[in-house]
């Protein structure tokens, strides 16, 4: 009588199962990211116009035209902090504006379309990823666009102004950390805005929210310059772009007055965590609800 041999199949361990799920999520995340990069490459010209126009006009008007006018230096009182060189004051501020605008535009504006009547977001959430991971992918992709926008501002700030920019990077690791945190924070802010307002009201948000936080974000003047207006100096501390501007100012132009770097990094991490939590919660509500 022939005995049948039994083969025991080893059941997958929880560790191997967890690893395979993680790899699946990583591939799906990378696929979404590469898809967005492909779309950005096809729309490279509009992206370049959107990134370059705002800093180009500011630099041309404030650092090229006004210095050639009679009394140009007097029109820029904050230039006294940089030895009469307003270009140096503007460098970090315009990089912060480029990071913020690019991050918000890369998340909030597409979400306004995807959450619209066509519900294009439904195609994206079909990807084998948790809903929160899809929101994080949008943040990461916007951070890449913000970093590109900041990199574009830097050469323009050197070649357009009539007076040379006095910049000195005292710590490259610190500068890299500040730019990454600022880019992710701007993406988280865009995610929060895009999931908190109705698609038809997204244009109003730029006039009511984005523009005020820009002009009150220590972009065109150091935070220390507000010491004579104490209530305003304290009030702007709730504005995340203040820490973007001050962080880049402390990294690129350390000769100018700026906040403590440890405070800057701590507040950027705090705003990143807060805005990410709010954005993901709003994204889940809009997708599932």
Look at residue 288 in the predicted model and tell me its pLDDT: 78
For residues 255 and 249, give the distance between their C-alpha atoms in angstroms, rounded to a whole number.
9
For residues 25 and 69, give the distance between their C-alpha atoms in angstroms, rounded to a whole number.
58
Q: Which of 68-72, 274-278, 281-285 has the lowest mean pLDDT?
A: 68-72
Residue 134: Cβ within 10 Å count = 21
Look at residue 175 in the predicted model and tell me its pLDDT: 92
What pTM, to 2 d.p., does this model score? 0.84
Structure tokens at 30: 């990378």
109 has pLDDT over 60: yes
Look at residue 166 in the predicted model and tell me its pLDDT: 76
Look at residue 91 in the predicted model and tell me its pLDDT: 83
For residues 170 and 253, give the distance between their C-alpha atoms in angstroms, rounded to a whole number.
9
30 has pLDDT over 80: yes
Higher-pLDDT residue of 3 and 240 is 240
Look at residue 16 in the predicted model and tell me its pLDDT: 58
Structure tokens at 96: 């912060």
For residues 122 and 279, give the distance between their C-alpha atoms in angstroms, rounded to a whole number.
18
74 has pLDDT over 70: no
For residues 73 and 67, give the distance between their C-alpha atoms in angstroms, rounded to a whole number.
6
**154 confidence band (pLDDT: 50, 70, 90):** confident
Long-range CB contacts (within 8 A, 24+) of 256-259: 256/81, 256/82, 256/88, 256/89, 256/222, 257/81, 257/222, 257/223, 257/224, 257/225, 258/222, 258/223, 258/224, 259/223
The per-residue pLDDT for range 189-241, each reduced to its tens digit, is 989 988 887 777 777 777 777 788 888 888 888 888 888 899 999 999 999 99
Domain locations in the chain? 15-67+80-288
Look at residue 85 in the predicted model and tell me its pLDDT: 65
Mean pLDDT of the chain: 80
Look at residue 12 in the predicted model and tell me its pLDDT: 53
The per-residue pLDDT for range 163-198, each reduced to its tens digit, is 777 778 888 999 999 999 999 999 999 899 888 877
For residues 236 and 270, give the distance between their C-alpha atoms in angstroms, rounded to a whole number.
16
Structure tokens at 82: 């940089």
Q: Is 217 within 8 Å of 268 (Cβ atoms)? A: no
For residues 194 and 82, give the distance between their C-alpha atoms in angstroms, rounded to a whole number.
38
Q: Is 249 within 8 Å of 256 (Cβ atoms)? A: yes
Higher-pLDDT residue of 11 and 148 is 148
**3 confidence band (pLDDT: 50, 70, 90):** very low
Nearest to 272 by CA among 177, 174, 201: 177
Q: Is 253 within 8 Å of 218 (Cβ atoms)? A: no
Look at residue 60 in the predicted model and tell me its pLDDT: 81
Helices 86-114 and 44-60: crossing angle in degrees, nearest 10, is 150
């Amino acid at each position: 009588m022939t005995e049948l041999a039994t083969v025991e199949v080893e059941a997958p361990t929880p560790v191997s199962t967890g690893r395979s799920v993680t790899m699946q999520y990583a591939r799906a995340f990378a696929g979404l990211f590469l898809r967005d990069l492909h779309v950005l490459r096809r729309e490279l010209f509009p992206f370049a116009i959107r990134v370059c126009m705002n800093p180009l006009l500011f630099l041309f008007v404030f650092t090229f035209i006004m210095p050639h006018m009679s009394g140009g230096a007097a029109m820029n009182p904050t230039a006294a902090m940089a030895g009469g060189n307003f270009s140096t004051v503007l460098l970090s501020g315009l990089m912060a504006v480029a990071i913020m605008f690019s991050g918000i535009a890369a998340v909030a504006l597409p979400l306004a379309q995807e959450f619209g009547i066509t519900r294009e977001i439904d195609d994206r959430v079909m990807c084998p990823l948790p809903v929160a991971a899809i929101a994080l992918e949008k943040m990461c992709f916007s951070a890449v666009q913000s970093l590109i926008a900041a990199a574009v501002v830097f050469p323009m700030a050197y070649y357009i102004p009539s007076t040379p920019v006095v910049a000195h990077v005292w710590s490259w690791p610190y500068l890299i950390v500040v730019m990454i945190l600022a880019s992710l924070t701007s993406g988280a802010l865009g995610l929060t805005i895009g999931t908190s307002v109705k698609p038809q009201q997204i244009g109003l948000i730029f006039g009511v929210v984005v523009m005020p936080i820009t002009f009150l974000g220590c972009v065109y003047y150091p935070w220390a310059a507000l010491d004579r207006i104490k209530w305003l100096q304290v009030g702007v501390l709730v504005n995340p772009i203040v820490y973007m501007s001050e962080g880049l100012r402390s990294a690129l132009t350390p000769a100018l007055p700026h906040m403590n770097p440890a405070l800057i990094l701590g507040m950027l991490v705090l705003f990143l965590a807060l805005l990410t939590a709010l954005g993901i919660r709003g994204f889940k509500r809009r997708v599932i609800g």
